[in-house]
Structure 1
Amino acid sequence: MSAMPDLNNKEDEGEMGDMKTMTFEPDILDIDLNHQRIQKIENLEGCVQLETLCLRWNLLTQIEGLSSLVTLTELDLYDNQLTKIEGLETLVNLTELDLSVNRFTVIENISHLKKLKKLFLCMNKISVIQNLEGLESLEMLELGDNRIRKINNLGSLTTLTSLYLGKNKINKIENLDNLVNLRILSLQSDRITVIEGLDSLTKLEQLYLSSNGISQIAGLDHNTQLNTLDLASNRIAKIENVSHLTELEEFWCNDNQISDWKDVDQLAAATQLQTVYLERNPLANDVNYRRKLKLALPSLTQIDATLTR
Structure 2
Amino acid sequence: MGDNGTAGDIVSENDSIADTNQLDTNGTQNEGSDEVEVSLDLEALEIELNHSRVSSMAVLSVLTKTECLGLRNNTIKTIEGINQLLGLRELELYDNQITRIENLDALVHLESVLEIPIIYRLVLDLSFNRIRKIENLENLVNLKKLFLINNKISKIENLSQLANLELLELGSNRIRVIENLENLVNLKSLFVGKNKITKLDNLNPLKNLELLSIQSNRIIKIEGLDQNHNLDQFYISNNGITVIEGLDNNKKLQTLDLAVNKLKRLENIEHLTQLEELWCNDNGIDDWKDLDVLQKLSALRTVYFERNPVASHQMYRKKIMLICPQITQIDATMCRT
Please tell me the TM-score bracket, short chain as reference: over 0.9
Contact 1:16 1:36 (C-alpha < 8 Å) held by counterparts: no
Contact 1:274 1:300 (C-alpha < 8 Å) held by counterparts: yes
Alignment of 1:69 onto 2:85: yes
Judge which range, 108-117 or 218-227, deviates more. 108-117
Does the residue aligned with 1:229 lie in a helix, a strand or coil? strand
Does the residue aligned with 1:268 lie in a helix, a strand or coil? helix
> Alpha carbons of 1:75 and 1:16: their partners in 2 closer, same or farther (altered >3 Å)?
farther
CA distance in 2, matches of 1:72, 1:137: 17
TM-score (norm. length: structure 1): 0.95
Matched residue, 2:6: none
Contact 2:23 2:41 (C-alpha < 8 Å) held by counterparts: no
CA distance in 2, matches of 1:220, 1:129: 25
Matched residue, 1:285: 312
Flag structure 1 segments of 5+ consecutive residues without an equivalent: none
CA distance in 1, matches of 2:61, 2:313: 67
Q: Give aligned pairs, total.
A: 304
> What is the alpha-carbon root mean square deviation over aligned residues?
1.6
Query: 1:117 offset after TM fit, Å?
Result: 0.5
CA-to-aligned-CA distance 1:186-220 (integer Å, 9 cap, x gap): 00000000000000010000000000000000000
Query: 1:65 offset after TM fit, Å?
Result: 0.8
Query: 1:16 offset after TM fit, Å?
Result: 6.6
Query: 1:5 offset after TM fit, Å?
Result: 3.7
Contact 1:231 1:252 (C-alpha < 8 Å) held by counterparts: yes
Identity rate, percent = 50
CA-to-aligned-CA distance 1:239-267 (integer Å, 9 cap, x gap): 11000000011000011110111111222
Does the residue aligned with 1:91 lie in a helix, a strand or coil? helix
Q: 2:186 aligns with which of 141, 159, 169?
A: 159
Code of the aligned partner of 2:35: G
Query: 1:3 offset after TM fit, Å?
Result: 3.0
Q: 2:35 aligns with which of 17, 27, 30?
A: 17
Alignment of 1:53 onto 2:69: yes
Code of the aligned partner of 1:275: T
Code of the aligned partner of 2:300: L
Query: 1:47 offset after TM fit, Å?
Result: 1.9
Code of the aligned partner of 2:197: I
Matched residue, 2:13: none
CA distance in 1, matches of 2:268, 2:64: 56
CA distance in 1, matches of 2:230, 2:222: 17
Does the residue aligned with 1:44 lie in a helix, a strand or coil? helix
Code of the aligned partner of 2:234: L
TM-score (norm. length: structure 2): 0.87
> Alpha carbons of 1:7 and 1:36: their partners in 2 closer, same or farther (altered >3 Å)?
same
Alignment of 1:4 onto 2:20: no
Q: 2:101 aligns with which of 85, 101, 104?
A: 85
Contact 2:80 2:103 (C-alpha < 8 Å) held by counterparts: yes
Higher RCO (CA 8 Å, separation ≥ 6 residues):
2
